[in-house]
C-alpha cells in the first residue's frame, strides 16, 4: 500500500535537561498549513480504497446492523407530572422526534423534531432537552459540528414557536428555576472550560453571572435536587470537588458552599427534608452516606446514613419523597439498596454478567423507582420497582429483530495480571464457536477516570459473534469496576497496571483456547485508545493481529506539557503533571506516541474527529505517521477522520452503523 508522505519538521521541547523531538508537531496548525486537511483527505481516500475489495462484506454488515434496530419505534414513555414524554424514530430518518401526551390519553404532541433541525447540517447533537416546571416551555441546545459548544433555544410548546435564541457556544446546564421564567447556564472560557454560571430572566432580558471558577483544574456543572428546591453548582476536578447551592425559586441568587474543596475528597448531595444527604469518600474509600443539616453542614457532627465498606462501592444516591435508592457495586456488578423508613431492601440480579442503572425518574412524589437492566444476551429492559410491594414489573424491552439470546454463551472470568491481582473479564461467543478452535476475537477496554465498561447488551456485536468471533471486555484497573482502589491503582504512577491488565486478558484468551496468536484484535476509544496504543507497544510477542484506536489519546506526554490545551490542567489529577520530573519520567515510559519502536506491529486503524475538543485530531494523525515510520512489518496502518464530527463520532443512527461496518470489516479482513 502506498501511503501519503508528509513533511517532517523537527520541533523541540526542552524540559528536565531532556529534548523531545516531534517531527509532526506542525500537524496542529490546520488553519495555517493547508497540508493538514490535504493529508487528512488523502488518508480518507486511502481508507476508502482499502475497503473497496470488501464492499460486499461492508454493505452486508451495514444492512445487518440496520436490521437489528426497528426502523420505526418508540422509546419507553416516562411520567413527568401530568405528562409522559417519549421519543419516536421513523423509517429512513436518522434522528428522534420528541413527543409528549397527557397521561391516560393517546393524543400526542410534537415537542421537537431533530430531523427538521438536522436539515442542512452534516452533524447534529441536541445536548439538552429541558422542560420547564410549568411544562409550557422547552429549552434545547444544539451542537452542529461536534465541538461540544452548544447554542440555546427556547420554544413555547403552546404555540410551537421559538421565543428566544439564547446564548451561543455554551456547555453545562441549562436548568430551569421553579418559576419557569429564570434559567441557569454555563459559559465557556477560551480553553473550552465551563467556568461561569449565568442566571437569565427570559421575560425581562436579565442576565447575571452568579459564580466563577478561576482555577483551570475545575469544570462547572449545574443540576437541581430531586425535590426541586435547590440548584447545585458543582466545581469538579479529577480528584476533588466542591458544591454550592442556590434556591430554585430564584429568590436568592447568592451561592452558598456546602463543603470546600479538599485534596482527594469527592462528594455529591441530595436533600431530604431539612438535611443534606452526602455521598462522599471523606471517611470511607468506597464512599459512605452522611446526614447533615442544610442550615449548618458539618462533617464532624454528621450522622452516618449508610456505612462505607471495603466490599461495596457506593456509586449513586436518589432521594424521593418517601424513599431512597442507593446504587452500589459489589464484586464488579451493580445492585440497589432501597431505604423506606427503617426498612432496607436490596435488589439483586441473577445473571453472572449484567448492567443495571437508574432510568428516567422525573417525579419526586412517587411510589415507583424506574431502572434499566441489560446483559450481553438481554436487550435493555425497563422495570418499575414498587417500594410498597417490593416487586419489579417489566414495562418495556428494546426489540431486536432476529436476535435469539439462547444462541450465545456469556462467561465471567477472573484473570491473573502481572502482579497476581485477579482482573474480571466478560467473554461472549456463539454456542457454535468452540473453545480450542483458532477463533477470531475482539477484546475491548477503557480503564481510566474510574469509568467502567459494563457487560451490557450491544446489538452491533452480533455481526461479529455470528461470524465466529469471541467478544471480550477487560474490566481493568483505572476503572472502578472492583471499587475505588481499582481506580486508584490504575492512575498516576500506577497507570501501567491498566495496560498490563489488558495484555493479561489478551494472553488468557489465547492460552485458554478462545482465540490464537495473531487472531485477536483490540479496540478502545479516547483514553481507551491510549490503552490500545500502549498495549501494542507492550506486545513484543506479536500476539495481537489488529488494533482499532478510536479518537485515541496517544500523545500523552506532549499534550500534558501544553497547558494551553482545553483539558490539560484538569488532567493533572489523572496522569500527573509532567512538569514534575517524577511524573514526566513515568508518563514518558508508557506514552504510546513516545514509545513506538522499530519492530513489527499489528494492523492498525486510527479514527479521528476533526472538531474533537477532547482528543485533538492531530494525536491519531501523528501517531499513524510515526507508526508507519518505525514499523518493520507490512501490515496496514490506516487513518480515517470524520471531517464533520467530534469526539463522539457521527451523530445520525445510519452514519453510526456505517462507521461500525467499516471497523468490523477491518477486523474481519486483518484477523484472517
Looking at the predicted structure, is the pLDDT value of residue 309 above 90?
A: yes
Distances (CA, A) of 370 to 240, 363, 396: 30, 11, 11
Query: pLDDT tens, 252-292?
Result: 999 999 999 999 999 999 999 999 999 999 999 999 999 99
Domains of the chain from N-terminus onward: 48-66+408-670 (3.40.50.1820), 121-260 (2.130.10.120)
Q: What is the CA radius of gyration of the chain?
A: 25
Q: Do the strands 333-340 and 324-330 form a parallel or antiparallel pair, or are they unpaired?
A: antiparallel
> Which range (12-21, 118-127, 453-462) has the least confidence?
118-127
Looking at the predicted structure, is the pLDDT value of residue 551 above 90?
A: yes
- HSE (CB half, 13 Å, CA atoms) of 466? 14
Looking at the predicted structure, is the pLDDT value of residue 293 above 70?
A: yes
Q: In the prediction, which pLDDT does 190 show?
A: 86
Q: In the prediction, which pLDDT does 31 show?
A: 85
* Bridge partners (DSSP) listed for residue 188: 194
- C-alpha of 94 from chain center: 21
Q: Is the dihedral of CA 512, 516, 518, 524 positive or negative?
A: negative
DSSP 11: E
Distance CA 80, CA 361 (A): 8
Q: Quote the Cα angle for 529-6-535, to 5°.
A: 20
Rounded mean pLDDT of the chain?
96
Distances (CA, A) of 568 to 242, 558, 578, 646: 20, 10, 11, 18
CB burial class (10 A; 0-12, 13-18, 19+) of residue 588? middle
Nearest by Cα to 299 from 256, 259, 252, 338: 259
What's the whole-number mean pLDDT along residues 79-101?
97
Q: In the prediction, which pLDDT does 238 show?
A: 84
C-alpha cell at 352: 453472572
Distance CA 277, CA 268 (A): 8
Query: pLDDT tens, 181-207?
Result: 999 999 999 888 999 999 999 998 899
- HSE (CB half, 13 Å, CA atoms) of 513? 5
Residue 23 near residue 618, CB atoms below 8 Å: no
417 tagged catalytic: no
- Catalytic residue (choose from 284, 452, 526, 651): 526
C-alpha cell at 102: 397527557
- Catalytic residue (choose from 284, 612, 651, 662): 612
Nearest by Cα to 315 from 323, 300, 305, 325: 325
Query: pLDDT tens, 312-353?
Result: 999 999 999 999 999 999 999 999 999 999 999 999 898 999
Exposure class string for 408-432: b at 16+ Cβ within 10 A, else e = bbbbbbebebeeebebbbbbbbbee
Q: In the prediction, which pLDDT does 172 show?
A: 64
What's the whole-number mean pLDDT along residues 445-466?
98
3-class DSSP string for 117-156: HHCCCCCCEEEEEEECCCCCEEEEEEECCCCCCEEEEEEE
Query: pLDDT tens, 239-253?
Result: 899 999 999 999 999
Q: In the prediction, which pLDDT does 83 show?
A: 98
Nearest by Cα to 317 from 297, 339, 341, 333: 339
Distance CA 337, CA 270 (A): 16
In percent, the amount of the chain with pLDDT more than 90 equals 92
Q: In the prediction, which pLDDT does 529 show?
A: 98
Q: What is the dihedral of CA 410, 330, 531, 575, to 10 degrees?
A: 170
Separation of first and last alpha carbons in the chain: 18
Q: How big, in percent rounded to 5, are the helix, strand and coil portions of the chain? A: 20, 35, 40
What's the whole-number mean pLDDT along residues 218-235?
97
Distance CA 514, CA 610 (A): 37
Q: Quote the Cα angle for 504-510-513, to 5°.
A: 135
C-alpha cell at 439: 477463533
Dmax over Cα atoms in the chain, in whole Å?
Answer: 73
- Helix axes of 496-511 and 527-538: crossing angle, nearest 10 degrees: 60
Nearest by Cα to 43 from 669, 648, 668, 622: 622
Distance CA 319, CA 429 (A): 40
Sheet strand arrangement including 230-236: 219-224, 230-236, 241-247, 256-259
Phi, psi values for residue 211, rounded to 5°: -155, 135
612 tagged catalytic: yes
Q: In the prediction, which pLDDT does 633 show?
A: 97
Looking at the predicted structure, is the pLDDT value of residue 649 above 70?
A: no
Looking at the predicted structure, is the pLDDT value of residue 76 above 90?
A: yes
396 tagged catalytic: no
Query: pLDDT tens, 574-631?
Result: 999 999 999 999 999 999 999 999 999 999 999 999 987 778 999 999 999 999 999 9
Question: Cis before residue 174, ω within 30 degrees of 0?
Answer: yes
Q: Which residue has the cell 498490563?
A: 500
Residue 447 near residue 531, CB atoms below 8 Å: yes
Q: In the prediction, which pLDDT does 612 show?
A: 78
- Catalytic residue (choose from 454, 480, 647, 662): 647
Query: pLDDT tens, 506-533?
Result: 999 999 999 999 999 999 999 999 999 9
Residue 415 near residue 505, CB atoms below 8 Å: yes
In percent, the amount of the chain with pLDDT more than 70 equals 99
What's the whole-number mean pLDDT along residues 63-70?
96
Q: Which residue has the cell 455529591?
A: 268
Where does the pLDDT of residue 650 fall: very low under 50, low under 70, confident under 90, or very high at 90 and above? Answer: low
Q: In the prediction, which pLDDT does 648 show?
A: 61
Looking at the predicted structure, is the pLDDT value of residue 146 above 90?
A: no
Q: What is the DSSP string of 74-128?
A: EPPPEEETTEEEEEEE-TT-SS-EEEEEETT----EEEEEHHHHHTT-S--EEEE
Amino acid at each position: 500500500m502506498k501511503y501519503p508522505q508528509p513533511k517532517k519538521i523537527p520541533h523541540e521541547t526542552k524540559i528536565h535537561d531532556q529534548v523531545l523531538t516531534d517531527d509532526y508537531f506542525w500537524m496542529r496548525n490546520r488553519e495555517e498549513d493547508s497540508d493538514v486537511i490535504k493529508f487528512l483527505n488523502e488518508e480518507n481516500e486511502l481508507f476508502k480504497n482499502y475497503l473497496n475489495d470488501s464492499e460486499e462484506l461492508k454493505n452486508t454488515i451495514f444492512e445487518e446492523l440496520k436490521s437489528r434496530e426497528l426502523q420505526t419505534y418508540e422509546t419507553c414513555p416516562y411520567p413527568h407530572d401530568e405528562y409522559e414524554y417519549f421519543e419516536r424514530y421513523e423509517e429512513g430518518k436518522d434522528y428522534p422526534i420528541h413527543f409528549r401526551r397527557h397521561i391516560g390519553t393517546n393524543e400526542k404532541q410534537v415537542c421537537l423534531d431533530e430531523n427538521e433541525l438536522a436539515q442542512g447540517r452534516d452533524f447534529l447533537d441536541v445536548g439538552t432537552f429541558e422542560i420547564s416546571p410549568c411544562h409550557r416551555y422547552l429549552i434545547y441546545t444544539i451542537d452542529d459540528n461536534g465541538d461540544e459548544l452548544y447554542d440555546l433555544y427556547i420554544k413555547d410548546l403552546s404555540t410551537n414557536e421559538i421565543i428566544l435564541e439564547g446564548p451561543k457556544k455554551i456547555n453545562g446546564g441549562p436548568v430551569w428555576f421553579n418559576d419557569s421564567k429564570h434559567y441557569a447556564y454555563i459559559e465557556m472560557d477560551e480553553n473550552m472550560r465551563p467556568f461561569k454560571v449565568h442566571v437569565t430572566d427570559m421575560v425581562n432580558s436579565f442576565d447575571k453571572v452568579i459564580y466563577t471558577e478561576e482555577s483551570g483544574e475545575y469544570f462547572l456543572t449545574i443540576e437541581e435536587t430531586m425535590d426541586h428546591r435547590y440548584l447545585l453548582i458543582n466545581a469538579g476536578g479529577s480528584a476533588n470537588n466542591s458544591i454550592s447551592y442556590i434556591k430554585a425559586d430564584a429568590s436568592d441568587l447568592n451561592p452558598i458552599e456546602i463543603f470546600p474543596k479538599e485534596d482527594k475528597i469527592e462528594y455529591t448531595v441530595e436533600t431530604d427534608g431539612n438535611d443534606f444527604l452526602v455521598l462522599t469518600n471523606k471517611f470511607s474509600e468506597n464512599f459512605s452516606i452522611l446526614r447533615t443539616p442544610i442550615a449548618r453542614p458539618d462533617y464532624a457532627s454528621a450522622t452516618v446514613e449508610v456505612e462505607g465498606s471495603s466490599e461495596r462501592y457506593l456509586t449513586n444516591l436518589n432521594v424521593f419523597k418517601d424513599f431512597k435508592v442507593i446504587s452500589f457495586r459489589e464484586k464488579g456488578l451493580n445492585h440497589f439498596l432501597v431505604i423506606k423508613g427503617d426498612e432496607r431492601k436490596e435488589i439483586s440480579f441473577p445473571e453472572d454478567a449484567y448492567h443495571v442503572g437508574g432510568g428516567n425518574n422525573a417525579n419526586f412524589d412517587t411510589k415507583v423507582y424506574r431502572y434499566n437492566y441489560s446483559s450481553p444476551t438481554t436487550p435493555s429492559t425497563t422495570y418499575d420497582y414498587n417500594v410498597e410491594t417490593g416487586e419489579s414489573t417489566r414495562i418495556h424491552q428494546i426489540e431486536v429483530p432476529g436476535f435469539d439470546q439462547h444462541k450465545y454463551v456469556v462467561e465471567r472470568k477472573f484473570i491473573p495480571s502481572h502482579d497476581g491481582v485477579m482482573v474480571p473479564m466478560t467473554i461472549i461467543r456463539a454456542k457454535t464457536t468452540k473453545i480450542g478452535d483458532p477463533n477470531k476475537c475482539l477484546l475491548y477496554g477503557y480503564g481510566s477516570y474510574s469509568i467502567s465498561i459494563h457487560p451490557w447488551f450491544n446489538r452491533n456485536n452480533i455481526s461479529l459473534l455470528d461470524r465466529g468471533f469471541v467478544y471480550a471486555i477487560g474490566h481493568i484497573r483505572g476503572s472502578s469496576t472492583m471499587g475505588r482502589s481499582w481506580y486508584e491503582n490504575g492512575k498516576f504512577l500506577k497507570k501501567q497496571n491498566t495496560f498490563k491488565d489488558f495484555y493479561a486478558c489478551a494472553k488468557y484468551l489465547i492460552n485458554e483456547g478462545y482465540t490464537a496468536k495473531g487472531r485477536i484484535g483490540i479496540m478502545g476509544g479516547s483514553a481507551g485508545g491510549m490503552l490500545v496504543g500502549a498495549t501494542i507497544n507492550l506486545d513484543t510477542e506479536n500476539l495481537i493481529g489488529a488494533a482499532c484506536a478510536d479518537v485515541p489519546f496517544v500523545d500523552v506526554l506532549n499534550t500534558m506539557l501544553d497547558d494551553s490545551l482545553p483539558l490539560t490542567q484538569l488532567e493533572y489529577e489523572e496522569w500527573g503533571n509532567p512538569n514534575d520530573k517524577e511524573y514526566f519520567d513515568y508518563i514518558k515510559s508508557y506514552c504510546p506516541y513516545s514509545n513506538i519502536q522499530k519492530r513489527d506491529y499489528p494492523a492498525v486503524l486510527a479514527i479521528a474527529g476533526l472538531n474533537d475538543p477532547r482528543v485533538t485530531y492531530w494525536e491519531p494523525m501523528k501517531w499513524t505517521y510515526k507508526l508507519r515510520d518505525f514499523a518493520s512489518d507490512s501490515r496496514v496502518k490506516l487513518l480515517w477522520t470524520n471531517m464533520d464530527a467530534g469526539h463522539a463520532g457521527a451523530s445520525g443512527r445510519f452514519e453510526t452503523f456505517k462507521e461500525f461496518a467499516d471497523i468490523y470489516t477491518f477486523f474481519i479482513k486483518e484477523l484472517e
